[in-house]
Amino acid sequence: MSCPGPIPTTAFGAANLAARAPGRAEGGNAVTRIVVAEDDPDLRDLLEFKLVQAGYEVTAVSTGREALDEAAAAQLFLLDVTLPDMTGLQVCTLLRAEVATRDTPVVLLTGHTQEADVEAGRSSGASDYIFKPFSPRDLVDRIGALLTGGGEPPGR
């Protein structure tokens, strides 16, 4: 699957992001756990592959409920806005309501590009809103910047 072109400029900044303490991999190496919720199996597999390749520990799921079930271990959530059981916006709102995940970065991944969609993402508490199609390499860069508290990578 090819996703041409760079990620458009972020819809809103990374204010109030707090990078969570990483978990520990076997041997004591720090890892960052990312929960990916995407109902398209091909895209979910691509996201998981690229994030694992970048050194992240990934739990890839296909529903919002599964994402919420994995919330305790995550340092970042990558959520498709359109999931079969609930929207990524609803998942984000529920994550923001919990003390344990209130400050965990949430990235919404979607084809919805209208201003009202972006505002709904902002209102749900999302840290970033990335439009499809996207460059997997740029997505990994954007996630890295969010996790280090830097917002957007330099040059964006």
Tell which CATH classification among 3.20.20.150, 3.30.70.560, 3.40.50.2300, 3.90.1150.10 matches the domain 28-147: 3.40.50.2300
Q: Give the number of residues written for the chain.
A: 156
> Do 35 and 59 touch, CB atoms closer than 8 A?
yes
Query: How much is the average pLDDT of 56-78?
Result: 97
Report d(CA 7, CA 155) in Å as an integer.
Answer: 12
The phi and psi torsions of 121 (rounded to 5 degrees) equal -65, -45
Whether the per-residue pLDDT at 37 is higher than 50: the answer is: yes
Per the confidence metrics, is the pTM higher than 0.85? Answer: no
Q: Output the pLDDT for position 2.
A: 38
Whether the per-residue pLDDT at 26 is higher than 80: the answer is: no
Q: Output the pLDDT for position 151.
A: 57
Q: For the chain, report the end-to-end CA distance as a whole number of angstroms.
A: 24
Which residue is listed with tokens 């330099």? 154
Query: How much is the average pLDDT of 33-42?
Result: 98
More confident residue, 13 or 148: 148
